Amino acid sequence: MKQDSWNRDYLSIGNTRAVSGVFVLMVFLAHLSSYTGIESGDKVYYYFRAAFSQLIVTPFLFYSGYGIVQSVKNRGITYVRWMPYRRIFRVWYHFAIAVCCYWLLLKAFGYTINPVKIPLVFLGWHSIGNSNWFIFDVLVFYLISFACFMVFHKKVKAGAWCNLLLSILFGVFLYVVRPEQPQFYNLILAYPFGVLVGSYREEIEKWVQENGDTYWITLAASVAVFITLVYFRHAMIVYELHGVVFLWIMLLLTMKFKVGNQFLDFLGAHIFEIYIYQRIPMILLGRYGILQHHVWYGLACFACTIVLAVIMKFVEDKLDHALRIR
Q: Give the pLDDT confidence of 28-54 residue by residue, as tens digits.
A: 988 888 877 655 556 666 667 767 788
pLDDT score recorded for residue 1: 41
Give residue 210's pLDDT. 80
Query: What pLDDT score was predicted for residue 195?
Result: 97
For residue 37, what pLDDT is reported?
67
> How many alpha carbons lie under 13 Å from residue 63 in its C-beta half-sphere?
23
Q: Could you tell me if 99 and 128 are in contact, meaning their C-beta atoms sit under 8 angstroms apart? A: yes
- Which has the closest alpha carbon to 149: 135, 166, 137, 133? 166
Rounded CA separation 164/158 (Å): 10
Nearest to 248 by CA among 220, 271, 272, 274: 220
CA-to-CA distance for 100 and 184, rounded, in angstroms? Answer: 22
Instruction: Note the pTM of the prediction, 2 decimals.
Output: 0.93
pLDDT tens digits for 82-136? 999 999 999 999 999 999 999 999 888 888 888 888 999 999 999 998 999 999 9
Burial readout 17-53 (b: 16 or more C-beta within 10 A, e: otherwise): bbbbbbbbbbbbbbbbbebbebbeeeeeeeebbeebb
DSSP 174-192: HHHH-TT-GGGTTTTTHHH
In a 10 Å sphere around its CB, with 0-12 CB exposed, 13-18 middle and 19+ buried, how is residue 208 labelled? Answer: middle
Q: Please give the chain's pLDDT, 326 residues, in tens.
A: 444 588 889 999 999 999 999 999 999 988 888 877 655 556 666 667 767 788 999 999 999 999 999 999 999 999 999 999 999 999 999 999 999 999 999 888 888 888 888 999 999 999 998 999 999 999 999 999 999 999 998 999 999 999 999 999 999 999 999 999 999 999 999 999 999 999 999 999 999 988 778 899 999 999 999 999 988 888 889 999 999 999 999 999 999 998 888 999 999 999 999 999 999 999 888 877 666 677 888 899 999 999 999 999 999 999 999 998 86
